[in-house]
Structure 1
């Protein structure tokens, strides 16, 4: 069963930002899809299991951005 969670990421301004976030979040074990909506900053993560927000936060920060509180 797939788990889908949506987060809001701040600081993304261009397609390079989208690629960076997609790459880092996509590297989390169990993640099967990452959909980024640049205008809203929404990042939807689909995975094969529940992924803790701390893992997503760490990946987003590694890409150089922040999860909104």
Structure 2
């Protein structure tokens, strides 16, 4: 298992956090997702998860990686 950390830009509320967690959580290989609204920090735990897959999931949720 590895943990990768990203910064998500554009989140403003709890619904934003939930959307990002849901989309990123659906990526194959992801076993855990933590999002901090105040800092925009996104921690993704899993195996074989590409940065590109995370970027696409975050964009699908309506945000972008910083």
Q: TM-score, normalised by structure 1?
A: 0.93
Q: 1:22 aligns to what SS in structure 2?
A: helix
Alignment RMSD (CA, Å)? 0.5
The Cα of 1:9 is off from its aligned counterpart by 0.3
Provide, for residues 1-23 of structure 1, a one-character-per-residue CA deviation record: whole Å limited to 9, x for no partner: x1100000000000000000000
The residue correspondences of 1:1-69 to structure 2 (distance < 5 A) are 2-47=1-46, 49-68=47-66
Question: How far has the Cα of 1:50 moved from its partner?
Answer: 2.8
Instruction: Give the aligned length.
Output: 66
TM-score, with structure 2 as normaliser? 0.97
Extract unaligned runs of 5+ from structure 1: none
